[in-house]
Amino acid sequence: MPDTQTFQSEATGHTHSAADYPVRPINPWKAWQAFQGLVRDKEDTRYVFAFFENVNGRSYTKFYERFTASEYGQSILADREQVGRVLNDRATLESHGPGTFAAAYLDYLDSENLRPEGVFEAHWAQAPKEMAAMRDDWPGLYAVSYMMSLTHDLYHVLSGYSRDPLGEALLLVFTGTQTNGRGPKWLGRLAGLRLRYEIPSWPVGRMMSEAKRNALAATPFYTTDLTALLPLPLEEARARLNVNPPQLYWDTLAAYDGPDPVAVKV
């Protein structure tokens, strides 16, 4: 079993501890500036990564240590490409048939004009030097970053939160609650507050509470091989993970016929 704390870099031959990974100090002002940039251009994912970098502190490496203590975490460390191989194999995903988790995932990608590795590629575009250093000197952290980026869209499909600004904000709360990640929790809450300001009739606080309850009730996504559930009917996959429907979120969107909100979409 590989050591979850230290890794031998193939490129340099040096051994690095995950605890030694250079993280930025928490900087609320820079995080706020990144959030304001995201409000101005909700499609610019650079601001998402900048926000996370300025609020995460050591919370990401703490999450990493919890992840690598799991059986699934160990499998990702041993083979970081496994998630990508499954999600990029469209022919196999299509073979699972209508009504499956796989079919819902492909429909989600196609309807949003997305690709499985899009989030990860955006992270590389935002910080190529940092990503290259992580790949070469902290391969374990890099493997986890790759896995979390690719499974983000699976989270959308399983949780029931769509890619609209409200759904993205609530999924961040859901994800941050499960991982105890400071970045997604704070960004989700700020986005929710902004949406509440734009559309006062929306019960954003109660929807964020619903997202938190659903996250706590569900099996932790990040320590589960979600790709193994793709052949199952979508509702069976959700049941396996004890995922409750975000009913208040669904009802709120169904009842709303006003203009689309301007706030963040990540």
Q: Which of 35-49, 58-72, 181-195, 217-231 has the highest mean pLDDT?
A: 217-231
110: pLDDT strictly greater than 90: yes
Give one DSSP letter per residue of 4-20, joined into a string.
Answer: SSEEE-TTT--EEEGGG
Q: Which of 48-57, 107-116, 181-190, 193-202 has the lowest mean pLDDT?
A: 48-57
Based on the number of CB atoms within 10 Å of its own CB, is 178 exposed (0-12), middle (13-18) or buried (19 or more)?
Answer: buried
Burial pattern 45-66, b for ≥16 Cβ within 10 A else e, equals: bbbbbbbbbbbbbebbbbbbee
26 has pLDDT over 80? no
Residue 153 confidence (pLDDT) above 50: yes
Distance, CA of 131 to CA of 120 (rounded, Å): 10
Say what the pLDDT of residue 266 is: 43
Q: Residue 103: name the closest of 231, 258, 244 by CA.
A: 231
**pLDDT for residue 4 is more than 60:** no
CA distance 96 to 111: 19
Token code pair at residue 41? 């251009």
User: Region 129-148: what's the mean pLDDT?
Assistant: 88
**Ranges 29-33, 81-85, 96-100, 222-226: which has the least confidence:** 29-33
Alpha carbon distances (Å) from 160 to 108, 135, 174, 181: 11, 32, 11, 20
DSSP classification of residue 100: B
Q: Is the pLDDT of residue 75 over 60?
A: yes
| Mean pLDDT, rounded, for 76-90 | 96
CA distances from 11 to 112, 137, 147 (A): 37, 7, 21
The single residue listed with the structure tokens 């989030």 is 119
Coil, helix or strand at residue 233: strand
Q: What share of the chain is helix, strand, coil (3-state, %, to 5)?
A: 65, 5, 30
Q: Please tell me which residue, 24 or 233, carries the higher pLDDT value.
A: 233
Tell me if 154 sits within 8 A of 31, measured CB to CB: no
Question: What stretch of H or E contains 8?
Answer: strand 6-8
pLDDT band (50, 70, 90) for residue 39: confident
Query: What is the rounded average pLDDT of the residues 127-143?
Result: 86
Whether 177 contacts 216, CB under 8 Å: yes
